[in-house]
Structure 1
Amino acid sequence: MTLSAARLEELLRKIPQSRVFVLGDLMWDEYIRGDVTRISPEAPVPVLLGTSEDRTPGGAANVLKNLRDLKCKMGVLGTVGADENGVALQHELEKWGLGDGLQLIRLADRPTTIKTRFMARNQQLLRVDREKATAIDAATEEQLLKAFDQVIGAYQALIISDYDKGLLTPRVIAEVIARARKKKIFVAVDPQVKHFKQYVECDIMTPNEKEASEGVGLPFPQNDEDIINIAKQIRSTLKLPHLLVTRSQRGMAYFNDREVAFLPTVAREVFDVTGAGDTVITVYTAAICAGASHVEAMVLSNMAGGVVVGKLGTATVSAAELSAEIARPLPPLRIEAL
């Protein structure tokens, strides 16, 4: 298969026309930054002299943020706590131009999830999670599915962003996939190992190598043959037409019924992998909506992932950054029959 920069640029121009809905766990990503100059006299731990604090919507909202920065039409359905942090998260998302696409359910039985990272320059020292991650109850499932039915028909694709915070119960997973497929809506899943075998008949799943191997109970892959065997078992078990496995420094591998496509990563300095999976599934799905083949979508998402790991914190990629990547020499693509 021959890829051209002109074709990738054409797809990039069409991506803002993509209509993508996100279902998943919403939260705040909070950062406390500073410098470490001494060790505490109270315990053998560093003392962080705080210099700044900031926070940004995270979890499934980071997928949404990637869609926003690519100027896609977007919507989201998730839960927040009935607390000040939930109100603040709603107000922040309201600024993103979602309109009726913003569907939030407030839960009185849990706080809004917050992940707080303590950072000394570029080094994360500690993360503190404040959350209640038990499964939502049957009444909330009903409320969520009703809201889903009311809005999903306006979109081409559904991204399920699973952070294992209680929203995505077995019933919710099965129902939203079935209802989306009935409307011929493309379903992409960024999975959790805990729920791995519940995502039956989604259109594509995007695990990393660790998630892929653990999801089917096989050892971590050491070579291409290993990842091919893992992929065959995943696709057979979950009845997946497509599978994309992210492989860190080894790039990506895409699988369908006939072939596997291997794509190496673009060499660059890695600062932070936080949120890279969100960027990959976002760009992949938006590209499919824009008319890309699955291999073309892989190439664009590989470029996007390479950009965001070079940034600190939960980052996104812009169309301008993707265009700059397209202008560079394209990495070699290797396709093999299965």
Structure 2
Amino acid sequence: MQELINIVKNFKNKKILVVGDLMLDEYILGSVERISPEAPIPILDVKEIKYIPGGAANNANNIKSLGGEVILTGIIGAEDKGKLLKEILEKRGINTQGVFVDQTRKTTVKTRIVARDQQMVRVDSEDRNPIAPETENKILEFINGQIKGVNAVIISDYAKGVITPSLSRNIIELAKASNVLSLVDPKGKDYLKYKNCDIITPNQKELGEALNLEINNESQFSQAGRMLLSHVFCDNVIVKRGGKGIFLFGKEGNSFSFPAVNKLPKDVSGAGDTAVAAFALALASGADFKQTIIIASYACGVAVGKVGTDVVLPEELVESLKNNFTDES
């Protein structure tokens, strides 16, 4: 266990570059005591409105909160919600030099309406068209100037248009040339744009969609994981399985799984971003894949115990390991 704790304590010495779809998560929190006379729907009595970085911004937020240094690049719109997202990131000490304003697009905002810790509805405001070539070039130029000073790069793809096939391939090539670890948090069906990345981290649903396969049992799951390895020509596939934990498929035929730590989650939104942040920091800190998956599992366990796309602090992660992990786990 002490070795795992030492790895977490070393997060503060690592720098991660995150590129992808930036989002603002809006939480409208309150209680429901009445039904509307206008329609058979509940009336929310609003108590609080919270704004939290989402998507790739949540990846960056998690890296920062876990103790690492982070450089973030992507786009926001010119409206107030975009400005608010950038302000929140800067207040949290996240480097936003690579966050560019695109006058032609709106900031992705996901609004969740929550009553007594129970989500009632989600409202999305977003653009999903690919970014313009000149915007892509601006992001790539920024990455080219930063890549040699980081320990890992995370491509955080939410299919909102930032991670185009050409941008993804160029980032992976830059990372390879600079001997920098590349991790992809994927979305959509075009996984060839992630070809030759070091690690790809789909959830189980995304794994099936990528291969156009149904995954209804462990045999089908194992087959799909191995197929994705050969399809994308990556070194490792790490699958986030929610309540079933995290599973590694390695190109050498090795595999490892670790069960979910928190069996009674309050809010799973953003947990995948927490896992990817922990993967990157742990591997950059010298952890092997078994240690990496254990650390990420405990980080997710802390994250889903909170309501809202919230962060995990290194002391919370260490405390969870101390209280729950044994060498026989």
Q: TM-score, normalised by structure 2?
A: 0.95
**Which residue of structure 1 lines up, in the alignment, with residue 225 of structure 2?**
231
For the residues of structure 1 that align with 2:125 and 2:161, how far apart are their CA atoms?
14
Deviation track 1:46-91 (CA, whole Å, cap 9, x = no partner) reads 1112121121121111111111112212100010112222222222
Matched length: 327
Please report how far the alpha carbon of residue 15 of structure 1 lies from its aligned counterpart in structure 2 after TM superposition: 1.3
Among 33, 40, 45, which residue is 2:41 paired with?
45
Amino acid at match of 2:119: Q
Matched residue of 1:48: which SS?
A: strand
Amino acid at match of 2:313: S
Deviation track 1:291-311 (CA, whole Å, cap 9, x = no partner) reads 001111111001111111111
**Which residue of structure 2 lines up, in the alignment, with residue 247 of structure 1?**
241
Task: Show structure 2 runs of 5+ residues with no match.
Answer: none
Amino acid at match of 1:121: R
For the residues of structure 1 that align with 2:197 and 2:263, how far apart are their CA atoms?
32
**Which residue of structure 2 lines up, in the alignment, with residue 184 of structure 1?**
179
Amino acid at match of 1:165: K
**Which residue of structure 2 lines up, in the alignment, with residue 59 of structure 1?**
55
For the residues of structure 1 that align with 2:147 and 2:126, how far apart are their CA atoms?
28
**Which residue of structure 2 lines up, in the alignment, with residue 115 of structure 1?**
110
**Which residue of structure 1 lines up, in the alignment, with residue 132 of structure 2?**
137
Please report how far the alpha carbon of residue 193 of structure 1 lies from its aligned counterpart in structure 2 after TM superposition: 2.5
Deviation track 1:68-115 (CA, whole Å, cap 9, x = no partner) reads 11221210001011222222222222223345x631111111111111
Among 292, 296, 313, which residue is 2:291 paired with?
296
Matched residue of 2:189: which SS?
A: helix
**Which residue of structure 2 lines up, in the alignment, with residue 316 of structure 1?**
311
**Which residue of structure 1 lines up, in the alignment, with residue 195 of structure 2?**
200
* CA spacing shift, 1:307–1:144, aligned 2, 3 Å: same
For the residues of structure 2 that align with 1:329 and 1:103, how far apart are their CA atoms?
38
Q: Is the CA contact 2:243–2:260 (under 8 Å) kept in the aligned structure 1?
A: yes
Please report how far the alpha carbon of residue 271 of structure 1 lies from its aligned counterpart in structure 2 after TM superposition: 0.6
Q: Is the CA contact 1:264–1:332 (under 8 Å) kept in the aligned structure 2?
A: no
Please report how far the alpha carbon of residue 182 of structure 1 lies from its aligned counterpart in structure 2 after TM superposition: 1.0
> What percent identity do the matched residue pairs reach?
34
Amino acid at match of 2:27: Y
Amino acid at match of 1:50: V
Amino acid at match of 2:45: L
Deviation track 1:190-243 (CA, whole Å, cap 9, x = no partner) reads 1103343321111111111111111111112412x2221111100000001111
Matched residue of 2:87: which SS?
A: helix
Among 27, 31, 37, which residue is 2:27 paired with?
31
Among 138, 153, 157, which residue is 1:158 paired with?
153
**Which residue of structure 1 lines up, in the alignment, with residue 271 of structure 2?**
276
Among 166, 169, 183, which residue is 1:171 paired with?
166
Amino acid at match of 2:254: E
For the residues of structure 2 that align with 1:25 and 1:109, how far apart are their CA atoms?
15
Which stretches of structure 1, 4 residues or longer, exceed 4 Å deviation after superposition?
none
Q: TM-score, normalised by structure 1?
A: 0.93
Matched residue of 1:44: which SS?
A: coil
Matched residue of 1:193: which SS?
A: coil
For the residues of structure 2 that align with 1:325 and 1:102, how far apart are their CA atoms?
34
For the residues of structure 2 that align with 1:116 and 1:306, how far apart are their CA atoms?
24
Matched residue of 1:218: which SS?
A: coil
Matched, 1:76 2:72: yes
Please report how far the alpha carbon of residue 150 of structure 1 lies from its aligned counterpart in structure 2 after TM superposition: 1.4
**Which residue of structure 2 lines up, in the alignment, with residue 329 of structure 1?**
325
Please report how far the alpha carbon of residue 331 of structure 1 lies from its aligned counterpart in structure 2 after TM superposition: 7.6
Q: Which sits farther off after the overlay, 300-309 or 51-60?
A: 51-60
What is the CA RMSD across the aligned residues, in angstroms?
Answer: 1.5
